[in-house]
Amino acid sequence: MTTGRSNTSSATSTSRQTAADSGISTFKGQDRALRSDRLGTGGLLLSVLAATAPLMVVAGVMPTTFAVMGIVGQPLLFVLLGIVLVLFSVGYAEMSRHVHNAGAFYAYISRGLGGTAGSGAAAVALVAYSALQIGIYGIFGFEVSGLCATYLDTEVAWWIPALAAALAVGGLGWLKIDVNARVLGVLLVIEVALVVIFDIAAVADPAKEGLSLHAFNPDTLTGAGVSTALCFCIAAFTGFEQAPVYAEETSRPHVLVPRVMFLAIGFVAVFFAISSWALTVAAGPAGIVGAAQKQSAGLLFFLTEERLGGTFTDVLHVLFVTGMFAALLSFHNVVARYAFAMGREGLLPSVFGRTTGASGAPGTGSLLQTVIAVVVVAAFAVADDKPTGDPTAPVLQLFTWMGNIGALGVTLLMAVASLSVVVFFTRRGAAGAQAWRLAASVAAGVSLLVIAGYTVKDFDVLVGAGPDSSLSWVLPGIIVLAAVTGVLQGLFLRARKPEAHARIGLGNEAFQLEKAAEADADA
């Protein structure tokens, strides 16, 4: 792998090339390798799709976008964003054939832009995915609290179920990834099935305007709210890009990871476009914004009760909660693997770079994410000003703040990864052979940078703060702080520990190289 890093011997250099090209994680010593051959196409796809939380997007993100932005053309936005993310996936998927590392984003960025940039990306990824996962605990706790009040006539503070979920997710994170995949798969299939039933019911019983395709009219994408709506919608896609995180745990990562990425982005784009269109059909294009403003996050449940009855709506409420639990577990697994990859390469203490027992799971990384989640949820609970909890606090603060911080971080990582793809293949002398993929990466990178710019510009709207609120720069500043901290760590390692700096992004290959060097020395 020609990454511009020096090797201590020609044999080590040869081993580096062989390890990089094969993509097979064979090092088993010191618990530094994730267990391979745990996931097939189905398990990997379900693990990735669970993070997109389809029911949460349809019930939460879509009504909010209609209500706050007043943009009827949300279905068209999902189509346009799907195209942008397919362009991104072209280069990202090709990169996944050459680099197999649980660090995914930061590993790719390291291979293209160097270890220091990779260190910055690692810090951003850890913060961004942690924020996305922790934010869901807010709306999860709010919904469970509401279910207890409705069906059990019991007042439960939102943070109690949130903390209980954090512990349950943390426990599952210690199990084999294939066990997690089965849990995620069952929950995902059920919630998708319920949304599809609603979509069919909406088409069968449309509002007075009938089966209107007005939501796909480009004229609907006008006005000041379009850019902010774009930010809301790209946040809904977050999760599809996680397939490379599990590359070491598949039998054929060079085949399965690209396949799953394209399947995931295709499914998400089509599913969200159709489901948001179904909402406009059920409420009517002329009435969808008003209905969303009146019903808020209850829009989907209001429309299903009209068409499918109270029992179905009650089931939908319950599955809304289980769908969020699936998303929590999916993001938890990703954060644990990023922590594992960073610990293995010296970006976190080495204790995080070891797997746990027979499960082969990154147990210490899982524990780290659980502790962080519990601390953050507890902090928001302490700040809550009512004994039973202010019902708006977890949704409008924990969920909204953390969700948008995470979405901004992931969008920036995708943009930088697009640049890294171009540099990586150019340095390998493959620019000509990969020309169309590199062109797609450039187009995607520019588009993603524009979206990230709008996200920062409109952050006050995204988090429901005033234009003069300090939140509009403090919250995005968390991502900037993470990036700067990571880059400084990379610079320190390059100056003081060059061998550790050279391993950034290599993952399990670094230890294969060490074994090869030791074998050469013994010979």
Stated pTM of the model: 0.85
- Label residue 514 by pLDDT band (50, 70, 90): low
The rounded distance, in Å, linking the Cα atoms of 263 and 213 is 25
Identify the pLDDT of residue 27: 37
**314 has a pLDDT exceeding 60:** yes
Q: What is the mean pLDDT of residues 20-24?
A: 36
Identify the pLDDT of residue 33: 57
What is the per-residue pLDDT across 407-428, written as a single tens digit (0 to 9) for each?
999 999 999 999 999 999 998 8
Identify the pLDDT of residue 126: 94
Radius of gyration of the chain (CA): 23
Does 22 or 152 have the greater pLDDT score? 152
What is the per-residue pLDDT across 318-354, written as a single tens digit (0 to 9) for each?
889 988 888 898 889 889 888 988 888 889 998 888 7
Tell me the average pLDDT of the chain.
83
**458 has a pLDDT exceeding 90:** no
- Label residue 74 by pLDDT band (50, 70, 90): very high
Q: Lowest mean pLDDT: which of 61-65, 231-235, 390-394, 413-417?
A: 390-394
Do 229 and 71 contact (CB within 8 A), yes or no? Answer: yes
- Label residue 84 by pLDDT band (50, 70, 90): very high
Identify the pLDDT of residue 298: 87
Do 54 and 323 contact (CB within 8 A), yes or no? Answer: yes
Judged by DSSP in three states, 441 sits in helix
Query: Longest C-alpha distance within the chain, in Å?
Result: 82
Identify the pLDDT of residue 24: 33
What is the per-residue pLDDT across 86-123, written as a single tens digit (0 to 9) for each?
999 999 888 888 887 767 888 899 999 999 999 999 99
SS3 assignment for 313-361: HHHHHHHHHHHHHHHHHHHHHHHHHHHHHHHHCCCCCHHHHCCEHHHCE
**13 has a pLDDT exceeding 80:** no
What is the per-residue pLDDT across 124-142, written as a single tens digit (0 to 9) for each?
999 999 999 999 998 899 8
Do 261 and 92 contact (CB within 8 A), yes or no? Answer: yes
Q: Which two tokens stand for residue 235?
A: 């946040």
What is the per-residue pLDDT across 285-308, written as a single tens digit (0 to 9) for each?
999 999 999 988 889 999 999 999
Neighbouring C-beta atoms of residue 253, cutoff 10 Å: 25
Residue type, 338: Y
Q: Which two tokens stand for residue 28?
A: 């088993």
Q: What is the mean pLDDT of residues 43-69?
A: 85
Share of the chain above pLDDT 90, in %: 41
How many CA atoms lie less than 13 Å away from 307 in the CB half-sphere?
23
How far apart, in Å, do the first and last CA atoms of the chain sit?
A: 24
Share of the chain above pLDDT 70, in %: 85
